[in-house]
Amino acid sequence: MISQHLNERFVNLFLYNPIIDEEEGVATFLLYNLSGQICGYQQYRPSAGKEKKNHPREGRYFTYRTSGKVAVFGLEVFNRNGPLFVTEGIFDCVRIHNLGFAAIATLSNDPKHISSWLNTLGRKTVAVCDPGASGDRIKKYTNYYIKPNINKDLGDMTNKEVEEVLKDYLK
């Protein structure tokens, strides 16, 4: 059951309001720009393997963005206080939101499409890098970065592990 799975991954279904298809086992998260326009979506199919990258029916994740639009996940709870954490994935972003902080998910480890937007914010931006070399790409678009000492994405960590990773910025 996809709703139960999302709850186990700490996703507040009322806050993010994903479109859920229990029969297909798919959750669709809408992506927005700063004007509040829907600019795309990401489908999440947890039963699918990771080998089918960005395939709409067979991949674990499928992301669609309208051409030329800045589209990110996380603007539902965007606030202008404190640092803006920049993550690669939705579940990493959700974990930061659950601690009460602003975060967006770029849905890519190379957020070149939002680099100008990040530069105009006038606030501290902190990339939270996924494990591995590909996770390091996101850090060149922010003022600071965090590379967790454990080989897990934020979305797969316990609450205690997430707080430990972010401790220097949660003060």
3-44 pLDDT, tens digit each: 999 999 999 999 999 999 999 999 999 998 878 889 899 999
Q: What is the pLDDT of residue 27?
A: 97
Distance CA(99)–CA(91), nearest Å, equals 13
Give a yes or no: residue 123 inside a domain. yes
84 and 165: one domain? yes
> Which pLDDT value is given to residue 34?
77
Token pair 């669609």 is found at 64
The number of domains in the chain is: 2
Whether residues 89 and 119 fall in one domain: yes
C-alpha span between 15 and 78 (Å, rounded): 12
- Show the tokens assigned to 71: 């589209």
| Same domain membership, residue 146 and residue 111 | yes
- What pLDDT, in 10s, does the model give residues 143-165? 899 988 888 888 889 888 998 88
Asked if residue 70 belongs to a domain, the reply is: no
The CATH code of the domain that includes 114 is: 3.40.1360.10
Q: Which of 65, 88, 119 is the last residue of a domain?
A: 65
Pair 137, 158 in one domain? yes
Q: Is the pLDDT of residue 74 over 90?
A: yes
Which of 43, 65, 87 is a domain's end point?
A: 65
39 and 85 housed in the same domain: no
* Whole-prediction pTM: 0.91
Q: Which of 65, 85, 110 is the last residue of a domain?
A: 65
**pLDDT tier for residue 68 given thresholds of 50, 70 and 90:** low
The residue range of the domain holding 159 is: 75-169
Contact 107, 42 (CB under 8 A): yes
Q: Provide mean pLDDT across the span 111-121.
A: 82
Contacts of residue 3, Cβ cutoff 8 Å, sequence gap at least 6: 13, 20, 22
For residue 98, tell me if it sits in a domain: yes
Mean pLDDT confidence for 62-71: 81
Question: 137 and 157: one domain?
Answer: yes
Q: From CA 39, how far away is CA 72, in angstroms rounded?
A: 8
- The rounded distance, in Å, linking the Cα atoms of 142 and 150 is 21
| 81 and 61 together in one domain | no
Contact 96, 167 (CB under 8 A): no
